[in-house]
Structure 1
Amino acid sequence: GGAAVGGGVGGAGRPPPPPTPGQSEAAWRAARWDFLGRIARAFKARVATAHTRDDQLETVVMRLLRGAGARGMAALAAPSRVVRPWLGVSRAELARWAVLEKVAYLEDPMNVSRAFLRGRVRHELLPALEAATPGFSDQILAIADQAATWRRDVERHVDAIGVVVAPSCERVSCPAAALESTTREGRAVLWPAICARAGVTLDAKGTRELVKFTTAGRGGSRILVSGAAIVLRRRAAPGEPPGDRFEVRRASSQRSPHSTRAWLGASEALPPRFGRFRWRRLHTAPSSASAAEQDLWTMGIPRGEQVALRVWTAGDRIRTAGAPAGRRVTRYFSEAHVPALDRPSWPVVLVDNEPVWVPGVCRGLTAPSRPGRPELIWYRCEPEFD
């Protein structure tokens, strides 16, 4: 939904500054896409570009020169949120139409430059290939169309296996069983498609490493892949189907994922959100003492107490039934298979400055978890890894 945005954007945003001399073509392109993406999100719209048949041909040839496989061969025809209505029209046809209809346009001076690879492909390599093999361009574009059809089939399969994309698009997860049950060749096709949904482009080495990691990685293990992205194996969170999941995290998620670091207040008014965790007050206590003890995502907090809620720190210790003298919370994290990347933002509940509850991980020896006590206020913590 929403109108497409392209050249003119009025007062909706400020265009990127002029490129710095010597700045790479990729840096210019990244600045343009960042600008258009921000404007599109502001209007809840989609970006529309004037890419033509010639742009597609040049892009496919450039990717061939870089050793791209079937996925990369789809180039501009690949499934995307970007709208490209003129992909089947040549640049010359579009220019003739603009003149005929008296539509004003600007000719980018870089179109005739040979300073970058695209210009050399456009003015030197493609004319030579077409002269040596008449029909070369049509053949390459036909292959690209087949690759785009193949990519759409792969995307439909990725949808069907239960891949979940976080609203931020910086985290993507999928059931581990869906990848374990296919062949090595199938994993080599699926991993790039899954990672792409988190904005991560896998290279050949990263794909090979993930194919091996699929069956070699244990719960809590992780691997670094192209673009400083991290793929980890974790247990399903509450609300997810049971079983292990693989999760892809783009590098930007790691820098400053949480703004909430601490909260202090009455036990009757825990905040509804703390970082990526939601706190829900329960109307009734658990049905039995055993249910309360087993569900580490739920706990009763004494009414009228002052409660502190903060993120875990490396030195935190908690006294539990199994360790009445105290034990480092990090050991409970390991036993609960909480990935190391999630721990710095994991909440800890304190009463009288003593940790009494690490949701989903452990409950302190002094934590009142027995139902049937009217002075307890029951809460359920629900993580949201998005």
Structure 2
Amino acid sequence: MSELTIFPPEALLHASLEVAMAPVVGPLVLAVSGGRDSMVLLQAVARWAPERIAAVATFDHGTGNYATEAASLVAAESRRLGLTVVRERSRTPGHSEAAWRAARWDFLGRIARAYKARVATAHTRDDQLETVVMRLMRGAGARGLAALAAPSRVVRPWLGVSRAELARWATLEKVAYLDDPMNVSRAFLRGRVRHELLPALEATTPGFADQILASAEKAASWRREVEGHVDAIGLAVSPSLDRVSCPAAALESTSSEGRGVLWPAICARAGVTLDAKGTRELVKFTRSGKRGSSICVSGGAIVLRRGAAAGEPVGDRYEVRRVSPPRVRDASRAWSGVSETLPPRFGRFRWRRLHTAPPPGECMEQDLWSMGFPRGEQVVLRVWTAGDRIRTAGAPAGRRVTRYFSAAHIPALDRPTWPVLLVANELVWVPGVCRALAAPSRPGRSELIWYRCEPECD
């Protein structure tokens, strides 16, 4: 009887890395925590594909000495290898797996965008198995069961490699790493699944892990087919990745079952994860929705059915907008200074200094996205608040900005982040919406400094 062939760890890891990176264009940001699996990822990519590394990103969750020491290890090892490292510490330590995951991915997303790169993680075959089992426990459908193998911009070279195989290479290569005490804890669901449930299931049903992983791969294959179909129906995704729209006909021409498959995939492009209830609500909305109607769905989104804008060659479209949780207003949402130093970005808006003033007359009056300020003028730039009032030519006694938002068709969801400018504590400009009667801009005054405000997401 022939013996089972066991590949040397180096050959296995090198091949896994090459297969994962072959279809990836552009640089990578390596997500490295300081644990064994991610430190193996750091060493392997640095050895076999160092030119692909834009940066190493490590996040200190602020949960104690281990988190800080692990981040320090990653930083030291990255510098030893001659790599750029970006390190950040959480200001508000979370107390749940979900909170830690959200904070970590927010950090990794920011770093990846800064380097125009894709994130690479050290998720393993074991991580995939645990994730699929946890999703089964929560009643996930075929879409959710694909888990870490689902189509994604995240690169996961070790997804077909077990932790044991990574451990072999780490031992042979003397890879430095720290053991996370949470790996042996039963305090959270993943730990209980790893140390109690999975060993019991494998003992009672030998081959259980392989069967689950095979089902997950079938689900991932199905998801790739669905994503391919969604790509072909004419989606439009905003640069900020929080809005997506698709032709209404693409959804209304299919069956209810088909819509139940397409809606979760479409919403996912805006970063929204639908649950079963949200999917049912959208299927129903597609059958009965009228132009101009909208619906809020679980998962943090609002879906609108709108007509085509002027000049658009397509018909009605459904638009999905991800709704961010409300934030407490603080000083970081305001800026003050002289007119020459307006920040180039504030929230979702760019502020571009113009070399010449807009032409005077009716054109200037209609262009509410541009305004001039005298040199040295002290201005305050902040976000709109519900009580803001502005004195305009049509309402010299003052009128709530809310009414001008409505007249300008600014969606209610966009208003809490909309910028306003004040001079001498008086609101003088709501970009794209209205100017005050006392606005300092007067076409023809050569001493004015002109700015144009432009929303980044449009």
TM-score, scaled relative to structure 2: 0.60
Match of 2:243 among 164, 170, 173: 173
| Residue number in structure 2 paired with 1:23 | none
| Aligned counterparts of 2:293 and 2:450: Cα–Cα separation in 1 | 30
| Residue number in structure 2 paired with 1:124 | 200
1:77 aligns with 2:157: no
CA-to-partner distance for each residue in 1:69-98, whole Å, 9 max, x for gaps? 121121231234554444435667x38956
- Work out whether residues 296 and 363 of structure 1, in 8 Å CA contact, stay in contact via their aligned partners in 2: yes
- State the SS of the aligned residue for 2:351: strand
| Aligned counterparts of 2:424 and 2:110: Cα–Cα separation in 1 | 45
| Residue number in structure 2 paired with 1:378 | 450
| Residue number in structure 1 paired with 2:236 | 162
Match of 1:299 among 371, 376, 383: 371
| Residue number in structure 1 paired with 2:22 | none
1:161-240 equivalence runs, <5 A: 161-164=235-238, 166=240, 172-175=242-245, 177-178=246-247, 181-183=250-252, 184-196=256-268, 200-212=272-284, 216=289, 223=296, 225-226=298-299, 229-231=300-302, 233=304
CA-to-partner distance for each residue in 1:355-383, whole Å, 9 max, x for gaps? 33211112234547775554554321112
Mean Cα deviation higher: 373-382 or 213-222 = 213-222
CA 1:364–1:46 in structure 2 vs 1: closer, same or farther (change >3 Å)? Answer: closer
- Work out whether residues 221 and 339 of structure 1, in 8 Å CA contact, stay in contact via their aligned partners in 2: no
CA 1:310–1:90 in structure 2 vs 1: closer, same or farther (change >3 Å)? Answer: closer
- State the SS of the aligned residue for 2:371: strand
CA 1:258–1:79 in structure 2 vs 1: closer, same or farther (change >3 Å)? Answer: farther
| Residue number in structure 1 paired with 2:87 | none
Task: Give 2:139's aligned amino acid.
Answer: G
- Work out whether residues 267 and 274 of structure 2, in 8 Å CA contact, stay in contact via their aligned partners in 1: yes
| Residue number in structure 1 paired with 2:384 | 312
- Work out whether residues 58 and 118 of structure 1, in 8 Å CA contact, stay in contact via their aligned partners in 2: yes
CA-to-partner distance for each residue in 1:308-343, whole Å, 9 max, x for gaps? 444333333223343344321111112223333443
- Work out whether residues 344 and 352 of structure 2, in 8 Å CA contact, stay in contact via their aligned partners in 1: yes
- State the SS of the aligned residue for 1:259: helix
Task: Give 2:148's aligned amino acid.
Answer: L
Matched pairs, number: 360
| Aligned counterparts of 2:198 and 2:421: Cα–Cα separation in 1 | 62
- Work out whether residues 247 and 318 of structure 2, in 8 Å CA contact, stay in contact via their aligned partners in 1: no
1:283 aligns with 2:359: no
| Aligned counterparts of 2:265 and 2:219: Cα–Cα separation in 1 | 13
| Aligned counterparts of 2:209 and 2:281: Cα–Cα separation in 1 | 35
- State the SS of the aligned residue for 2:320: strand
- Work out whether residues 286 and 292 of structure 1, in 8 Å CA contact, stay in contact via their aligned partners in 2: yes
TM-superposed CA distance for 1:154, in Å, is: 3.9
RMSD between superposed Cα atoms in Å: 4.8
1:246 aligns with 2:320: yes
| Aligned counterparts of 2:142 and 2:127: Cα–Cα separation in 1 | 18
TM-score, scaled relative to structure 1: 0.69
Task: Give 1:174's aligned amino acid.
Answer: V
CA 1:286–1:247 in structure 2 vs 1: closer, same or farther (change >3 Å)? Answer: same
Task: Give 2:387's aligned amino acid.
Answer: G
CA-to-partner distance for each residue in 1:337-358, whole Å, 9 max, x for gaps? 3333443442223445443321
Structure 2 spans left out of the alignment, 5+ residues? 1-26, 43-56, 67-94
